[in-house]
Structures are given as C-alpha cells and as structure tokens.
Structure 1
C-alpha cells in the first residue's frame, strides 16, 4: 500500500473521554473506513505513526435518528478501531500528521 491508501483507511482520531481513558492502557481510538479490515488498519497505523501494533479491536457505532427544526434525519454509521500499541510506543493524537 502507498501512503495515500493509509489515509483512506484511517479517517480521524476519536477524542472523547472514554477514548482518552484507553490511553492509560496504550490504546488509541480511530474512526476508520467502513470497509477497512483489521490487517489494513494495523498496517496503516504502523506506517503512518511508526509504531508497533499488538492488537486491533473494531466496532460499528450505529447512527442515531436526530431531529433538526422538526425534520428527521439520521446520522451515518461509524466504524471505530481501538488500536493497542506495544510497550514503549505512543501516539500523540493532539498534534497533526
């Protein structure tokens, strides 16, 4: 894979209270492409951030139905990946890449 493909797999980091608690266990959470596989996610994180990944857990967060000015709409489904890094490796998601 080339560099551009990795950016198609990893869309953005997830910065939430729960995601930052995972940082204590060497975990970083990313929003990834819906079609991304665990090996693709692992390869993309290792290539983009120059770290060693030990485990990748994924989930699909179903979109919620919301209402805006009386009109119903639906948020899209989002696929997230919790990436566990090897000891001694870290990713600072607050800085841009």
Structure 2
C-alpha cells in the first residue's frame, strides 16, 4: 500500500489539541499499518522527523438498539511525537 494511503485523517479534538502543544499529533490510520509504516508515511506526507509512534487500537463493539443487533466500528489511531521545532499545520 502507498505511504499516503496509510494515514486516513488527522484527529482534531480537545485531547489532540493538548497533545499538539507537546509536539504530538494524532492520526487515524489503516488497521493493518505498523509503527514503522506510519512513521514513514508521516515523514513522506508532512516532511517532518517523527521521533516515536504509539498505536491505539479500539476493537469493534457490539450494540443493540430497539432489538436490532449491530456492531460499532473499531479503529486504529497513531500518536506521533515529532522532533523539537517540527510542527504540522492542523488547520
């Protein structure tokens, strides 16, 4: 898979904004993506040097609404820490 396809979108939430001030950025990524692939994709897409990558996986959750059973989608997100002085424009 191409490097630009690994990163789905950048997460913009209160918690992610707090992390941005500390040089960490949160991305939704493909479920099969590894830490090294995410690191290379961020370097390729944003031209910055990632120091580390932490991965969080939320598994699918079973839900029931008015007797109908279904599942809530799971996702995988990556928290990328950048070198001092490097930033990504979130806006």
**Normalised TM-score (structure 1):** 0.83
Equivalent position SS for 1:57: strand
CA shift at 1:19, angstroms?
1.1
Runs of 4+ in 1 over 6 A off after TM superposition: none
CA deviations 1:19-71 (Å, max 9, x no partner) are: 11101110000000111011100000001000010010001012334455653
What is the RMSD of the two structures over their aligned residues, measured on CA atoms?
1.7
Match of 1:63 in 2: 60
Instruction: State the match for 1:90 in structure 2.
Output: 87
Q: Which runs of 5+ in 2 are unaligned?
A: none
Report how many residues are paired: 91
Does 1:43 pair with 2:40? Answer: yes
Unaligned runs of 5+ in 1: none
The answer to which of 60-69 and 10-19 deviates more is 60-69
